[in-house]
Structure 1
Amino acid sequence: MNSYAVFLRGVNVGGINIKMAELKEALKARPFSGVKTLLASGNVVLASELPPAGVKAEFEACLREAFGYDAWVVVLDAGRVAELVAACPYPADDASTHTYLTIASDPEVLTELHHAGTALDGVDLTRLGPEAMAWLAPAGGTLDSPFSKLSSKPKYKATTTTRNLRTMIKVRDAAMVV
């Protein structure tokens, strides 16, 4: 049995509202165990015999069937979440900046996003691996930051999602005990 973290894209924003209790209930019919939801922003840890691609396919099918929207998730092995958190060179808490990790189900799309982001003035990006990069945003100005605007473009919607480093730490801790 493998432990995974599943990150939902665009949940509880933009009119797609899913109660985490309802999500847990919908996932009961899928080949998952130990399902735990974290926060209300679409973070789930679970165990499964399936490989990551199988977890992604089952999870997205469940969201589409149970909640009726075109759903996308990024699935990472629990150990990989821990490695990414450890590799992040930025602080989890800082008075002037917030640290984010953008994770992707398609490394080629993340490479494209990384190249586009490094071309922006004043953007501090660090590639953590084929599926993740870390970046900084000014406190109180995340949504207005150049990289946030870039990464929220529709072309990245199906393959990427972003989480605050503090959230990733909570997911890491929960995924290690599934």
Structure 2
Amino acid sequence: MNSYAVFLRGINVGGINIKMADLKDALTSRPFTGVKTLLASGNVVLASDLDPAGVKQEFEACLRETFGYDAWVVVLTAATVTSLVKACPYPADDASTHTYLTLASDEAVLTELFESGRALDGTEITRLGPVALAWLAPAGGTLDSPFSKLSSKAKYKAATTTRNLRTMVKVRDAAAAL
């Protein structure tokens, strides 16, 4: 049995509202155990005998069938989440900036996003490997930051999602407890 973190893209924004209790209930019919939802922004930890691709397929099918929307998730092993948190060179808490990790299910898409992000003036960005990159945004100005605007483009929607580092720490701890 493997422990996973699943990060949903685009829920509880843009008219797609899912209660975490309803999500947890829907997932009981799938090959997952120990399902726990974290926060209200689409973070789930679970255990499964499936590989990451199998978890992604089952999870997205459940979302589409139960909640009726085009669902995309990024699935990471608990060990990968731990490695990403450890590798992040930016602080989890800082008065002037916020640290974010953009997670991807497609390495080519992440590479394109990283290269485009590096070309933006004033953007502090670091590649953390094939599934993630870390970046800084000014406190109170995340949505207006150049990288946030870039990463929210429709062409990245199916393959990426972003979480702040504090959320990633909470997910790491919950996945480790499975």
Does TM-score exceed 0.5, indicating one fold? yes
Percent identity over the alignment?
81
- The corresponding residue for 1:7 is 7
1:94 corresponds to which letter in structure 2? D
- 1:25 matched to 2:25? The reply is yes
1:122 deviates by 0.3
1:31 deviates by 0.1
- The corresponding residue for 2:168 is 168
- 1:109 matched to 2:113? The reply is no
Gaps of 5+ in 2: none
1:81 deviates by 0.1
Ranges of 4+ aligned residues in structure 1 off by more than 4 Å: none
- Kindly tell me the number of residue pairs found equivalent between the two proteins: 178
Could you tell me how far apart the structure 2 residues matched to 1:177 and 1:129 are?
A: 24
- The corresponding residue for 1:16 is 16
Aligned-residue CA RMSD in angstroms?
Answer: 0.3
Q: For 1:59-74, what aligned pairs fall within 5 Å after superposition?
A: 59-74=59-74
2:18 corresponds to which letter in structure 1? I
Provide, for residues 28-70 of structure 1, a one-character-per-residue CA deviation record: whole Å limited to 9, x for no partner. 0000000000000000000000000000000000000000000
2:32 corresponds to which letter in structure 1? F
Could you tell me how far apart the structure 2 residues matched to 1:102 and 1:24 are?
A: 24
1:99 corresponds to which letter in structure 2? T
Could you tell me how far apart the structure 1 residues matched to 2:161 and 2:43 are?
A: 11
TM-score (normalizing by structure 1): 1.00
Could you tell me how far apart the structure 1 residues matched to 2:126 and 2:114 are?
A: 9
> 3-state SS of the aligned residue for 1:29?
coil
2:162 corresponds to which letter in structure 1? T
> 3-state SS of the aligned residue for 1:129?
coil
Could you tell me how far apart the structure 2 residues matched to 1:123 and 1:130 are?
A: 20
Could you tell me how far apart the structure 1 residues matched to 2:14 and 2:168 are?
A: 22
1:115 corresponds to which letter in structure 2? E
1:18 deviates by 0.1
- The corresponding residue for 2:78 is 78
Q: For 1:16-55, what aligned pairs fall within 5 Å after superposition?
A: 16-55=16-55
1:170 deviates by 0.1
1:124 corresponds to which letter in structure 2? E
